[in-house]
């Protein structure tokens, strides 16, 4: 992590000016920190719908970092060498709150960032998602799989918005020779996850730390594969550094599955609290299996997850323990 950037000949490259949309979000803030640490000038653009300024606290005041309040559904005029397009609510709780705006963020935001890349001749990376595969009937999912998506369901604003964004990226590449990179993100966790994003890791951790019932939707036999945030950011950076013509899409995620019930049991044990598991009905279109085939990432990027689940969960638990303690202190102070 944090190594200098080199070209294919192994020569150090000069610092680049890099835009990160959604830079105050969970993944965006970690990416901004990594890029600043690597010596680049970084601009974060975020409308703070789900992103939080606190996520960027360590960067404020650093000469190589600046933050803009900006919604990607409006054009942005900056001079940059690279763009990481991460802007979009990424959890069902948030993207279903305003589904029309979610679709606009994915589609219009992609058009605006591709237009900026076309004008500045910047490389642009699209943070797509495993949700493009829908409720898959192929397991594990390879990049060639075209998906099983319900275009009319409550998750479609995100699923179809991201699918359309991928279409736009490849059409700009074919029509305008825009330098694109596309990654498909599978379940990722770690410090700075939004505390109310409704995802299983953050839900289970907060409930366990509070000594509340831990809620599982369905019977808990559905499987997920969890990638720690530092590993995911490493995948982003490596993808951006691939040679011209390497566009993706490339799956980034952890190929080792775990049932939701086993995840809940591990988190309860790590939290050291007495907590009871309770079951609720499974939400509409919630996939029973989600697991990446990362063979392409291994071949193209030399990448695979390195942080074990137990270690990643410990770090995430520590973060949320501090977060909840700080929130309680603020309430006590009035």
> Whole-angstrom Cα distance, residue 297 to residue 295?
6
The boundaries of the domain holding residue 247 are 17-190+226-256+288-307
Highest mean pLDDT among 22-36, 85-99, 207-221, 284-298: 22-36
* Whether the predicted pLDDT of 249 surpasses 70: yes
Q: Which stretches does DSSP call E strand in the chain?
A: 17-21, 41-46, 65-69, 82-85, 123-129, 180-185, 188-189, 214-217, 223-224, 227-228, 250-252, 258-259, 277-280
CATH number at residue 303: 3.40.50.720
* Whether the predicted pLDDT of 334 surpasses 70: no
Residue 283 exposed, middle or buried by CB count within 10 Å (0-12, 13-18, 19+): middle
- Count of domains observed in the chain: 1
pLDDT in tens, 278-307: 999 987 767 778 899 999 999 999 999 999
- Quick one: average pLDDT of 308-318? 97
pLDDT at 1: 38
Asked if the structure places residue 4 within a domain, the reply is no
- ∠ CA 220-225-226, nearest 5°, is 110
Asked if the structure places residue 132 within a domain, the reply is yes
Asked if the structure places residue 265 within a domain, the reply is no
Q: How far is CA 154 from CA 47, 150, 247, in A?
A: 23, 9, 30
pLDDT in tens, 168-203: 999 999 999 999 999 999 999 999 998 877 789 999
* Whether the predicted pLDDT of 8 surpasses 80: no
pLDDT at 2: 41
Q: Which two tokens stand for residue 137?
A: 């009937």
Question: In the annotation, is 77 catalytic?
Answer: no
Asked if the structure places residue 316 within a domain, the reply is no
Asked if the structure places residue 261 within a domain, the reply is no
* Whether the predicted pLDDT of 135 surpasses 90: no
Asked if the structure places residue 276 within a domain, the reply is no
Is the peptide bond between 249 and the residue preceding it cis, with omega within 30 degrees of 0? yes
- Given the residues 84, 133, 158, 189, the one annotated as active site: 158
What residue spans of 210-308 are helical by DSSP H? 229-240, 260-271, 295-301
Nearest CA-CA partner of 252 in 271, 275, 230, 276: 230
pTM score, two decimals? 0.91
Place of tokens 């969970």: 26
Write down the number of H helices and E strands in the chain.
9, 13
Asked if the structure places residue 6 within a domain, the reply is no
> Whole-angstrom Cα distance, residue 184 to residue 294?
10
Residues 300/235, Cβ–Cβ less than 8 Å: no
Asked if the structure places residue 321 within a domain, the reply is no
Place of tokens 């689940």: 309
> Whole-angstrom Cα distance, residue 231 to residue 27?
11
For strand 123-129 and strand 82-85, is the pairing parallel, antiparallel, or unpaired? parallel
């Amino acid at each position: 992590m944090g190594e200098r950037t080199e070209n294919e000949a192994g020569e150090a490259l000069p610092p680049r000016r890099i835009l990160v949309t959604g830079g105050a979000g969970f993944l965006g803030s970690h990416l901004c920190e990594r890029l600043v640490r690597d010596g680049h000038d970084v601009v974060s653009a975020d409308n703070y719908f789900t992103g939080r300024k606190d996520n960027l606290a360590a960067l404020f005041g650093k000469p190589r970092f600046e933050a803009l309040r900006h919604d990607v559904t409006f054009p942005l005029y900056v001079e940059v060498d690279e763009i990481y397009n991460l802007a979009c609510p990424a959890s069902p709780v948030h993207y279903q709150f305003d589904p029309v705006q979610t679709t606009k963020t994915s589609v219009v935001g992609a058009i605006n960032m591709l237009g900026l890349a076309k004008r500045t001749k910047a490389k642009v990376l699209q943070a797509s998602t495993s949700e493009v595969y829908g409720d898959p009937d192929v397991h594990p999912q390879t990049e060639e799989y075209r998906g099983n998506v319900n275009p009319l369901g409550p998750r479609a604003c995100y699923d179809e918005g991201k699918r359309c964004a991928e279409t736009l990226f490849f059409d700009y590449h074919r029509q305008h020779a825009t330098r694109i990179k596309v990654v498909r993100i599978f379940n990722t966790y770690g410090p700075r996850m939004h505390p109310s994003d409704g995802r299983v890791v953050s839900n289970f951790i907060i409930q366990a730390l509070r000594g509340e019932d831990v809620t599982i939707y369905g019977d808990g036999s559905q499987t997920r594969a969890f990638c720690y945030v530092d590993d995911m950011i490493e995948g982003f950076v490596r993808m951006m550094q691939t040679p011209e013509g390497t566009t993706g899409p490339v799956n980034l995620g952890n190929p080792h599955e775990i049932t939701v019930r086993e995840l809940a049991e591990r988190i309860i044990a790590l939290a050291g609290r007495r907590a009871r598991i309770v079951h609720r009905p499974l939400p509409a279109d919630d996939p029973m299996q989600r697991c990446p085939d990362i063979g392409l990432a291994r071949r193209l990027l030399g990448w695979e997850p390195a942080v074990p689940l137990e270690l990643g969960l410990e770090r995430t638990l520590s973060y949320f323990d501090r977060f909840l303690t700080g929130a309680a202190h603020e309430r006590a102070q009035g």
